[in-house]
Amino acid sequence: MACAATSSKGFTVLAHSDLGGRGDGMQVVRHGPVVYVGHTGTTGAGTTILDVSDERCPRLVAQWPAPPNSHTHKVQVADGLLLVNHEKFPYRKPPAGPVSAGVAIYRLDDPAAPEQIAFWESGGLGVHRIVWTGGRYAHMSATPPGFRDRIWLVLDLADPAHPVEAGRWWWPGQAEGERPDWPAGQRYAAHHALLDGDRAYLGFDDAGLVVLDVADMARPRFVDRLDWGGGATHTCLPLPGRELVVAADEQQHDGPGAPERTIRLIDVAGDPTVIAKVPAPVGDFADLPMRFGAHNLHENRAGSYRSEQLIFATYFSAGLRVYDIADAEAPVEIGHWVGPAPAGQSVPQSNDLWVDEGGLVWVTDRIGGGLTVLQPEPWMRKRMEEAGTA
């Protein structure tokens, strides 16, 4: 159980949930007194709902399984709706039967008891990651029929009970019948995009950062691209007030000896330019088994803690990492938390995070460590208050 720390600076454990004994936590979102957790898929769990009105004692109030041959590891909440992805799982094995592929849409009249009102069928291998912040459009990465890998799709939710595809964009060569133009051994595949006005900053795996013009969501248009030679680019977080993008590459390989996967700061005032990388976590993490490297960033969503100075990231075996980027050319780590290895694991695998409006950090473990709630120490809380909305 992740109930202490093997190393910590700036945070203490407030609470922990084993997610009903199904500890393979993936994406986590807090919405008022309720927390939603998607599951990686190895336990068969799909979505878990926790009552966190008492944050010291998260209480499981609902949990349902993923469909056969699929996982539902991503959750998004806005405008009274919960969106959950459906995607083929496991990734690298042929399915044993039919795959559930698309997006399930739930109404949240009772946030602890969602009512499904629609299912949008994507076909193919399904939907990987959704971005839904309210309004008319959600967007996502998906592998629909006719494509080799994940492209970027836009879903029109003007009528949430009857969603329809509004637009799509793919890198030339991704469609069947097109010739790939990228280097042999690399993968060009959409992960997800975060928006700043009419610009979508899309992580595109070994293609790095792709910038799209989405003034017309039905006709996304390529604007620019910046790559650094491959590296599974995952999250590209725009900081609009600073004309910066924070780009995290996802570690997809077990160690020891896995390639570096880090976080870069990109100046987007003109042509996108990398101006710095965050410092590597101090320790022997690269020599440990399982994954070590960057993964998810806290995305400054409405209803959460927001800052253009402090960056919160999960780093798999290196836990939670917090960076001060007041000087964008010289970012510094100011805090961290690494929990003990959960039962049956050689190391922790901190996977996703949500920093709530009160400054609590909700961190999942992708294998078996469940969900840990961290509270900032007084000095860290002060830094967060000075640098953002906590």
| CATH number of domain containing 73 | 2.130.10.10
> How confident is the model at residue 281, as a pLDDT?
97
As a whole-number percent, the residues of the chain with pLDDT over 70 amount to: 98
> How confident is the model at residue 3, as a pLDDT?
54
Averaged pLDDT of the chain: 96
> How confident is the model at residue 240, as a pLDDT?
97
272 belongs to a structural domain? yes
> How confident is the model at residue 95, as a pLDDT?
84
Q: For residue 179, which amino acid is it? A: R
CB atoms within 10 A of CB 269: 9
169 belongs to a structural domain? yes
Half-sphere exposure at residue 5, Cβ-oriented, CA atoms within 13 angstroms: 20
Lowest mean pLDDT, pick from 20-34, 83-97, 138-152? 83-97
User: Mean pLDDT over residues 237-246, rounded?
Assistant: 98
User: Using one digit for the tens of pLDDT, what is the confidence trace for 37-81?
Assistant: 999 999 999 999 999 999 999 999 999 999 999 999 999 999 999
> How confident is the model at residue 84, as a pLDDT?
98
275 has pLDDT over 60: yes
Domain hosting residue 243, numbered range: 7-387
> How confident is the model at residue 92, as a pLDDT?
85
User: Using one digit for the tens of pLDDT, what is the confidence trace for 126-137?
Assistant: 999 999 999 999
- Token pair of 72, please? 């539902």
2 belongs to a structural domain? no
89 belongs to a structural domain? yes
**Residue 4 — pLDDT band, cuts 50, 70, 90?**
low
98 has pLDDT over 90: yes
In contact, 246 and 297? CB cutoff 8 Å: yes
In contact, 19 and 25? CB cutoff 8 Å: yes
**Residue 308 — pLDDT band, cuts 50, 70, 90?**
very high
Q: How far apart are CA 116 and CA 268, in angstroms?
A: 40
Q: How far apart are CA 27 and CA 36, in angstroms?
A: 8
Closest CA to 100 of 77, 129, 56, 70: 70
155 has pLDDT over 80: yes
> How confident is the model at residue 2, as a pLDDT?
46
User: Using one digit for the tens of pLDDT, what is the confidence trace for 158-176?
Assistant: 999 999 999 999 999 999 9
State the Cα torsion 245-251-353-37 to the nearest 10°.
130
Number of separate domains in the chain: 1
Residue 61 makes CB contacts below 8 A (sequence gap 6+) with 49, 50, 51, 112, 113
> How confident is the model at residue 390, as a pLDDT?
55
**Residue 1 — pLDDT band, cuts 50, 70, 90?**
very low
- Token pair of 345, please? 């694991």
